[in-house]
A = this chain, B = another copy of it.
Amino acid sequence: MIDLLIEKIKKTENPAVAGLDPVIEMIPAYIKKQMFEIYGKTPEAAGAMFTEFNKAIIDAIYDLVPAVKPQIAMYECFGLAGLASYIDTVEYAKQKGLIVIGDIKRGDIASTAEAYSAHLGGSIIEGESYDIWKEDAITINPYFGTDGIAPFVDRCKKHDKGVFVLIRTSNKSSCELQDIIAEGQPLYLHVAALVKKWGGDLIGEQGYSRIGAVVGATHKEQGIALRKQLPQTFFLVPGYGAQGGIGADLKGYFDKDGLGSIVNSSRGIIAAWQKDKELAADPDLGPEFAEASRKAVIAMRRDLQFAMEG
């Protein structure tokens, strides 16, 4: 998985990941109208409009990005109909050749983590295998320590999947626990040491492990220091764009070959049409709304290439 991700980054010359985190307010009127007409104002309508919206965006950008990252919460809040859209989105993105990182941030004790690890390779029912969720990689929470992570690591090994463990998140209050000084260094560095250990046996051909880390764009010095401390850990970097990070902040998140990080943008890519005056004002706007997402990806690639070149 990690070697394939790197191959795709090289091919697209782009470390940008599109965060497929729809909310109803971002859906163009023509899709909303269609789905409300079919399903009424129901969770089924929300799910159907998210699928339609995501497909249009994927169609517009699949040749430009290595991966997409749907945030499961945006779907889970609409129950089974929402989660059906999550699954359809994962499948469609994979058909288009994209790597799919499920942003699910699960974490629990070992027996429960084993159940959650069905996201990475599926479940077995009396000898029959079902891969239902189908993500290539997921995000996970480290608070339980090694035994809560082991089932995911096993799946990464067995099914060539990946995980990104939260080290340093992009939100403001992340400092409350993650920056607290423990035994001479901030907590997130203790997590970093564990991530390094967990990933030690799963290094791919390009020198990076299937066990990656989440390192926010909003903590520049920390990100740069982590890059040096974890030379074999691939970073998933949230917080770019709407959360405030820019490409110039990310110099040092990449290695000398311009690898080592993928950078997520959600609203900045998928809601780009709402910032385009012409598209936003068009009463007859159709699927061409997604052209704004394509432009946003191209602009983001340019911004990040500057950072990748170091």
Contact = CB atoms under 8 A, between A and B. Distances in A.
Interface of A: 21, 24, 36, 41-43, 45-46, 71, 73-74, 76-80, 83-84, 87, 105-110, 112-113, 115-116, 118, 123, 125-128, 130, 132-133, 141-148, 166, 169-178, 180-183, 187, 190-191, 194, 238
A115 B76 contact: yes
Contacts of A71: 108, 112, 115
A36 B238 CA distance: 43
Nearest to A118: B77
5 contacts: A73-B108, A76-B118, A79-B133, A145-B172, A176-B194
Contacts of A125: 24, 41-43, 45-46, 78
Contacts of A127: 41
A37 to B, nearest CB: 13
Contacts of A178: 143, 145
Nearest to A132: B79
Nearest to A131: B79
Contacts of A133: 79
Given A76-B116, A106-B105, A182-B181, A126 B190 contact: no
B171 A182 contact: no
Contacts of A113: 73
Given A115-B77, A116-B76, A145 B132 contact: no
A147 B173 CA distance: 6
Nearest to A170: B109
A109 B244 CA distance: 14
With a 10 A CB-CB cut-off, give which of A113, A127, A180, A182 has the most chain B CB atoms: A182
A144 B238 CA distance: 13
Contact of A123 (B36, B43, B238): B43
Given A41-B125, A78-B123, A132-B43, A177 B145 contact: yes
A110 B171 contact: yes
Contact of A175 (B115, B128, B145, B172): B145
A133 B73 CA distance: 13
With a 10 A CB-CB cut-off, give which of A24, A173, A194 has the most chain B CB atoms: A173
B126 A36 contact: yes
